[in-house]
């Protein structure tokens, strides 16, 4: 596995407007994580869908709600059901819209899916703190496995102390279904980071590993800028199901 240690500069938590328009002066340097690119040696067995999901009523309800929200945001509906419907909606978005539009579509879909008053209340009662970071990690693990796949809470170091603020996704369900790096980056990672920061004031850095399709969601950690983020510079899988293009064109 061709892995690289990525470093990142930590800054104070900006607002969404600042996050989009300003490049803040770095304060502290720390390691973001180990990032692996999809290599030519990755096996078809890894790319082949192997995880079997038995979605319960809550999972099916959540999947359908998010799928309908994405379809409403794109203006393009489909007749599929279950997780296939969500994958189809994401695939169409990746094929019909450019990178910026894809991210805006998912932000729109998330706004439709989650009532703003509830998000505002959560932001007020749980400002960024150790408790909030650990709460988000536990909540994500318990209630978002229908989207992410099996996951668990792990520790990382924050300001010299250990916290359980990391969600380790063992094999991302969306990435496993699509085999598409572009969908991972533009329809999951980037908009999710912005949405969590905008809605809750909570920085989030998502670090995918394209060799084994795992990912780490690090709550409280600022992500790299788009120009420095290695997730936005990776070639896609040879078995990409969305654009069927083994190159960085899946990201544009």
Q: What is the pLDDT of residue 44?
A: 57
82 Cβ partners below 8 Å, 6+ apart? 55, 60, 63, 64
Q: How do beta strands 204-209 and 161-169 pair?
A: unpaired
Q: What is the pLDDT of residue 251?
A: 65
Q: What is the pLDDT of residue 159?
A: 87
Q: What is the pLDDT of residue 119?
A: 92
Segments of the chain with pLDDT less than 50: 1-36, 39, 41, 246
For the full predicted model, state whether its pTM sits above 0.85. Answer: no
Q: What is the pLDDT of residue 231?
A: 87
Torsion of CA 147, 193, 159, 228, to 10 degrees: 120
Q: How do beta strands 204-209 and 151-158 pair?
A: unpaired
Q: What is the pLDDT of residue 83?
A: 97
Q: What is the pLDDT of residue 29?
A: 37
């Amino acid at each position: 596995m061709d892995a690289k240690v990525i470093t990142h500069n930590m800054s104070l938590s900006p607002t969404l407007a600042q996050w989009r328009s300003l490049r803040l002066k770095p304060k502290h340097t720390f390691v973001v994580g180990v990032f692996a690119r999809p290599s030519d040696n990755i096996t078809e067995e890894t790319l082949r869908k192997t995880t079997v999901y038995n979605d319960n009523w809550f999972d099916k309800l959540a999947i359908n709600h998010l799928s309908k929200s994405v379809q409403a945001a794109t203006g393009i509906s489909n007749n599929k059901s279950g997780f296939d419907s969500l994958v189809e909606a994401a695939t169409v978005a990746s094929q019909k819209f450019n990178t910026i539009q894809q991210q805006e579509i998912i932000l729109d879909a998330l706004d439709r899916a989650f009532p703003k008053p509830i998000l505002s209340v959560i932001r007020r009662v749980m400002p960024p703190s150790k408790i909030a970071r650990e709460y988000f990690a536990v909540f994500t693990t318990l209630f978002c496995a229908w989207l992410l796949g099996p996951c668990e809470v792990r520790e990382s170091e924050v300001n010299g102390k250990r916290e359980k603020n990391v969600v380790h996704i063992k094999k991302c369900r969306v990435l496993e279904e699509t085999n598409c790096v572009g969908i991972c980056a533009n329809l999951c990672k980037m908009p999710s980071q912005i949405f969590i920061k905008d809605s809750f004031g909570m920085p989030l850095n998502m670090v995918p590993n394209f060799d084994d399709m795992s990912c780490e969601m690090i709550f409280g950690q600022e992500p790299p800028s788009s120009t420095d983020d290695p997730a936005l510079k990776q070639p896609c899988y040879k078995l990409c199901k969305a654009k069927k293009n083994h190159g960085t064109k899946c990201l544009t």
